Amino acid sequence: MYTTSSLTNITPVHHATNTAPLTHTATYAMQDARQTHWQAMMRALALKARQPKWITVINPPRTFTAKHLQQWGIHPDQVRVIRSRNGYDDCALVEGAVKANTSCAVLAFSPQAEKITHYETGTQWVAFVNPAVLHCH
């Protein structure tokens, strides 16, 4: 029986006597894939940050600090943080930030998001990150 993961192209083989869902090798491969995806996303964010516009960060977890952004060459004065209040969901905040057109990038942390998804809309870059991804690094 073969199983695959959407996070890696490594296909671990499970024998009928082995009921463990992942081997240690596959677990490390998944963590490496998440880290590679996270690093690629941060490189894209750093490229967008070269524009004279805001980097808007929505609902960052406490573990995500300005130091994380500085490591990628993003100046903290270029970053604005938005925290949601009752009545506003993450998608509405992202939509508002994109419509304002004052950000070169919008980074939204949402537990409902896939692990990491990002896309371009016009000249703006938008990313949704599940905060659990940060705990893998």
Question: Measured between alpha carbons, how far is 79 from 103 in angstroms, rounded to an integer?
Answer: 9
Per the CB < 8 A criterion, the answer to whether 71 and 21 are in contact is: no
* pLDDT value for 130: 85
Taking the whole predicted model, whether its pTM rises above 0.75 is answered as no
Question: Measured between alpha carbons, how far is 59 from 6 in angstroms, rounded to an integer?
Answer: 26
Q: What is the pLDDT of residues 83-135, one digit of tens each?
A: 888 767 888 899 999 999 999 999 999 888 877 777 787 788 898 888 887 76
**Which of 8-17, 78-87, 115-124 is least confident?**
8-17
| Phi, psi of 46, rounded to the nearest 5 degrees | -65, -35
Binned at pLDDT 50, 70 and 90, residue 2 comes out as: very low
